[in-house]
Amino acid sequence: MASGEVASSATAKYLQIAADLAAQIKSGALAPGAIVPSEAELIQRYGVASGTVRKAVAELRTAQLIETYHGRGSFVRSRPPVQRKSADRFRRTHRQAGKAAYLAEAEASGGVPSVTVLFVGPTAAPPEIADRLGLPAGTQVLARKRRYFRDGVPTEEATSYLPWDVVKDIPEVFAENPGGGGIYARLEEHGHSLAEFTESVRARLATKPETKALTLSPGAPVIHLVRDAITTDGRVVEVCDTIMAADQFVLDYRFPARD
Amino acid sequence: MASGEVASSATAKYLQIAADLAAQIKSGALAPGAIVPSEAELIQRYGVASGTVRKAVAELRTAQLIETYHGRGSFVRSRPPVQRKSADRFRRTHRQAGKAAYLAEAEASGGVPSVTVLFVGPTAAPPEIADRLGLPAGTQVLARKRRYFRDGVPTEEATSYLPWDVVKDIPEVFAENPGGGGIYARLEEHGHSLAEFTESVRARLATKPETKALTLSPGAPVIHLVRDAITTDGRVVEVCDTIMAADQFVLDYRFPARD
DNA sequence: CAGTGGTCTAGACCACAAA
DNA sequence: TTGTGGTCTAGACCACTGG
């Protein structure tokens, strides 16, 4: 046929190609970690133009089935089992046993956890954080930003914000490693007895910086979780702002059927 | 320059165009609901080829800034304020006041809620559901599938699954409208006193059918929530499987700092 | 009908990675 | 240097929407 040839079938060519490759992945013919045929080869195999193959590949990428690397090739994604996050991870008994929350969690999930501290120091509180802490926006607070890995793969990035008057007498929270049980253990040792936590969960697409930080494909979804730690006095002594790779986590909650 | 001209600057042309349009949207120059200049006009205005403009537009779409409609044009998204979902919506006092959960919720969020019942009837329980109900996979259960709207816009689709022996004596749950307080009120009237709920939250990209059902752009994220309703006997008497448009919701949880 | 976005072609050149 | 994916062109035709 002449140039300018166009799909006349029900579904677009690029979707057919994507579906074909997806079937090969699901059937195991293309195993996790395997390299996907190059675009040049797909062009030949399916007899289409480059743009069409590229759209098919883009489709597989947003479907989280493959990852593409400039200059190297495309690879079938190996989907690590998800981590379950439940409120249990903040149990005081875990803290007293010297476990930080992420470690208490990792025990049940399998996989080797690790943390990198990206920043610890004074910061001007962003508006939403300041609001939750009950402080004027821009007030100086202590920020602790860290990135969590699982089997060496970044899965989560969290920033804790603590009011300055709370932390100024707790030297450990300025250190990279705040010691056994994490910062919540340190807060309780210094008279800030924790009564409850509140969490707000949102989901959205990753921003450009987030795709870099968590090595996500563009267009990948993230879970944005903001947690307030509240003392028995009713004061919010910490706000933790977390971005998680959505495909890595299931969040579990439990609440009573109250009157 | 000759044909085959190519980006040599740091960031790609299509990203520059997308950023330019995004700035116009954020500044209000392109107001919510306004029509975005047609692709043909953007081609002229920026002096690029069609493919480049289309990639820029695709970028804005995945950034949730615009919606595109075949044959009509592209429009700046009007972001309705999000709905907050908290465990409070299941309070028994709400049920006794005759309010279903979604209504109790809508009161606080603003916007006019509505529901369409898509299906009520017997179904073979899907594996994950059967597992939660403590039944063999494929057991016949009652399914209630409905779609929720807000100001006429679909936001959420939920399917409840109930064991047959629980519902067989409760005629109201087979009706489209189960009566004041919803099915939880009916369950409690028939001796199934609810003790607690558990919810599992995941986020992922919408599937093709979900984009249709919730009128989402392709590549839009959804929240997948599965809730178990548990009686004082410890039995799971309902599993509710919900898909929500991620940009419409914030989920709030609260839990004690237990020992 | 004219105008819109959606798909597709058949190339080109660029940027990156590995041998 | 070779091969990979990423960007871009300058068109074409198709499918949908509205007047």
B68 and B159 share one domain: no
B258 vs A51 pLDDT, higher one: A51
- What is the predicted pLDDT for the residue at B103? 66
Q: Is residue A7 part of a domain?
A: no
The secondary structure of chain A, three-state, reads CCCCCCCCCCCCHHHHHHHHHHHHHHHCCCCCCCEECCHHHHHHHHCCCHHHHHHHHHHHHHCCCEEEECCCEEEECCCCCCEEEEHHHHCHHHHHCCCCHHHHHHHHHCCCEEEEEEEEEEEECCHHHHHHHCCCCCCEEEEEEEEEEECCEEEEEEEEEEEHHHHCCCHHHHCCCCCCCHHHHHHHHCCCCEEEEEEEEEEEECCHHHHHHCCCCCCCEEEEEEEEEEECCCCEEEEEEEEEEHHHEEEEEEEECCC
**B124 and B187 housed in the same domain:** yes
**Which nucleotide shows the minimum CA-to-C1' distance to residue B8?**
C14
pLDDT one-digit tens code per residue, A85-105: 777 777 777 777 776 776 666
A-B CB pairs within 8 A amount to 133
Q: Please report whether residue B257 resides in a domain.
A: no
Same domain, A199 and A149: yes
Look at residue A38 and tell me whether its pLDDT is greater than 50. yes
Question: Is the per-residue pLDDT at A64 higher than 80?
Answer: no
CA–CA min distance B225, chain A (Å): 9
State the residue range of the domain holding A24.
13-76
Q: Which of A25, A59, A76 is the last residue of a domain?
A: A76
Instruction: Calculate the alpha carbon distances from B250 to A225, B87, B101, B182, B246 in Å.
Output: 10, 12, 16, 23, 8
- Place B184 in a pLDDT band, splitting at 50, 70 and 90: very high
Nucleotides of D under 7 A from a protein CB: 3-18
Between the CA atoms of B169, B170, B171 and B174, what dihedral angle is there, to the nearest 10 degrees?
A: -110
Question: Same domain, yes or no, for B173 and B235?
Answer: yes
Laid out side by side, the sheet with A73-76 consists of A35-36, A73-76, A66-69
DSSP state of B10: S
Position B192 scores a pLDDT of 95
Asked if strand D contacts A255 at the CB level, meaning under 7 A, the answer is no
pLDDT greater at residue B168 or residue B28: B168
Same domain, B153 and B217: yes
Q: In this structure, is the CB of residue A20 within 7 Å of any atom belonging to strand D? A: no
Determine the Cα–Cα distance for residues B139 and B244; give it in Å rounded to an integer.
27
Residue A71: inside a domain:
yes
Q: Is residue B233 located within the same domain as residue B195?
A: yes
- Nearest residue by alpha-carbon distance to C1' of D16: B71
Answer whether residue B3 is part of any domain. Answer: no
Question: For chain A, how many structural domains are there in total?
Answer: 2
Which pLDDT band holds residue A79 (cuts at 50, 70, 90)? Answer: low
Burial B50-71 (b: 16+ CB within 10 A, else e): eebbebbbbbbbbbbbbbbeee
Nucleotide with minimal C1' distance from the CA of A15 is: C7
Tell me if B259 is assigned to some domain. no
Decide if B255 and A196 are in contact by the 8 Å CB cutoff.
yes
Asked if A43 and A171 sit in the same domain, the reply is no
For residues A96 and A150, membership in a common domain is answered with: yes
Same domain, B116 and B230: yes
Contact B160, B238 (CB under 8 A): yes
| Domain end call among B36, B56, B76 | B76
Q: Is the CB of B12 under 7 A from strand D?
A: yes
What do you get for the CA distance between the two ends of chain A, in Å? 71
- Do residues A124 and A244 both lie within one domain? yes
Strand C lies under 7 A from the Cβ of residue A152? no
A-interface mutation test, from B54, B202, B244, most A Cβ less than 10 A away = B202
Q: What is the pLDDT of residues B139-172, one digit of tens each?
A: 999 999 999 887 777 889 999 999 999 999 999 9
Q: What CATH number is given to the structural domain containing A50?
A: 1.10.10.10
Among the three residues B76, B92, B114, which one is the final residue of a domain in this structure?
A: B76
Tens digit of pLDDT for each residue in B195-219? Answer: 999 999 999 888 777 877 887 776 7
For residue A86, what are its two tokens? 């439940």
Claim to verify: residue B208 and residue B245 sit in the same structural domain: yes
Residue A8 maps to a domain: no
- Is there a domain that residue A41 lies in? yes
Domain containing residue A122: CATH number? 3.40.1410.10
Q: Does residue A4 form part of some domain?
A: no
Note whether B36 and B125 are same-domain residues: no
The DSSP 8-state label assigned to residue B215 in this structure reads: T
